[in-house]
Amino acid sequence: ADAAAAQAARARQASLTKPPGSLGRLEELAVFMAGWQRLERPRIDKAKALVFAGNHGVCAQGVNPFPQEVTAQMVANFEAGGAAINQLCRASGADLTVVALDLDRPTADITQAPAMSEPETLAEMRRGAEAVSAEAQVLILGEMGIGNSTIAAALACAGFGGDVQGWIGRGTGSDAAGLARKADAVRRACARHAGVQGLGILAALGGREQAAICGAVLEARSRRIPVLLDGFICTAATAPLHAADPKLLDHCLVGHVSREPGHARLLEAMGKTPVLSLDMALGEGSGAALALGVLRAALECHNGMATFAQAGVAGG
């Protein structure tokens, strides 16, 4: 981020008609945006949302109560405008693109083999990168993929260690037996692929949408486009980047903390403070799209408020 622009934005915040610091996180968000956009007064005229969808061989382990066909059905729902993410993007003024990644070709079962080969992984990363519009001023990332909370737990566990159980949650609605199967699958997958590092984690334990998210994050980084990550699955998708170098995620905010119990633990491990905490656990980019509203409000205050001098208010 550009230190001079961030400093100019900080100075502007101090001049606005409010007690210093009283807009709390809104001030930090405005300064963050200023740094990445290299503008004292950052703008969001064009917000893009990308939702990547993929299918996962690990579903063979009975980790999800829904059939994999639901992934394609939900993609059709996104395209028809009927899902939560459609409403939330409309509400927050984001332009949504859904990218279905070979849904008829699930990745390999991570308990048996690496999810993807290295060339496949790089190809999905490239698809993610190519989906990023150069003119976007902020990028919302989300995902859809039956079984991918198991993938997220495996990525988090490989990236950050700790007990498997702490990375496991109900996802789309697993019962106790389903949770036990998830934990067992993650344990076996992590044992099979023990020792993989950095982006190797992504090929061994990830999935197509996880690779696409990593590609989009890197592309946004190179274009200095700030990113709003969504919940547990989206954040966990970036664990291989964090393992390679935490700085690769400096331009990423996390829109919300999910009800999925591994998310708070993951955010703490990654040093990220979520914008919202609304007990949501849907994915699709829903928490990130909702947080865009807060980000817009932060910039409205930053750019639109009068200074003490302009308003003739004492105390500046």
Which residues are known to be catalytic?
Answer: 284
Of 202, 185, 204, the C-alpha closest to 194 is: 204
x/- site string to a second copy, residues 1 to 20, per CB under 8 A? Answer: ---------------xxxxx
Pick 122 or 305: Cβ nearer a second copy? 305
CB of 6 to a second copy, least distance (A): 18
Considering only residues 211-270, where is the footprint of a second copy by CB under 8 A? 259
In the chain, the amino acid numbered 90 is: R
Query: Among 5, 6, 9, 23, which residue sits at the site for a second copy (rule: CB under 8 A)?
Result: 23
CB of 193 to a second copy, least distance (A): 28
Tell whether residue 132 is a contact of a second copy (CB under 8 A): no
Pick 119 or 312: Cβ nearer a second copy? 312
Considering only residues 161-220, where is the footprint of a second copy by CB under 8 A? 171-173
Tell whether residue 92 is a contact of a second copy (CB under 8 A): yes
Both tokens assigned to 236: 């966990």
CB of 312 to a second copy, least distance (A): 6
Pick 63 or 83: Cβ nearer a second copy? 83
Pick 13 or 121: Cβ nearer a second copy? 13
CB of 218 to a second copy, least distance (A): 29
> If DSSP states are collapsed to H, E and C, what string results for the chain?
CCHHHHHHHHHHHHHECCCCCCCCHHHHHHHHHHHHHCCCCCCCCCEEEEEEECCCHHHHHCCCCCCCHHHHHHHHHHHHCCCHHHHHHHHHCEEEEEEECCCCCCCCCCCCCCCCCHHHHHHHHHHHHHCCCCCCCEEEEEEECCCHHHHHHHHHHHHHCCCHHHHCCCCCCCCHHHHHHHHHHHHHHHHHCCCCCCHHHHHHHCCHHHHHHHHHHHHHHHCCCCEEECCHHHHHHCHHHHHHCHHHHCCEEECECCCCCHHHHHHHHHCCCCCECCCCCCCCCHHHHHHHHHHHHHHHHHHHCCEHHHHCCCCC
Q: By CB under 8 A, which span of 5-13, 87-95, 200-208, 209-217 interacts with a second copy?
A: 87-95
Considering only residues 26-55, where is the footprint of a second copy by CB under 8 A? 26
Tell whether residue 86 is a contact of a second copy (CB under 8 A): yes
CB of 43 to a second copy, least distance (A): 14
Binding residues for a second copy (CB under 8 A): 16-26, 65-67, 69-70, 73-74, 76-77, 80-84, 86-88, 90-92, 171-173, 259, 275-282, 286, 290, 293-294, 296-297, 300-301, 304-306, 310-315
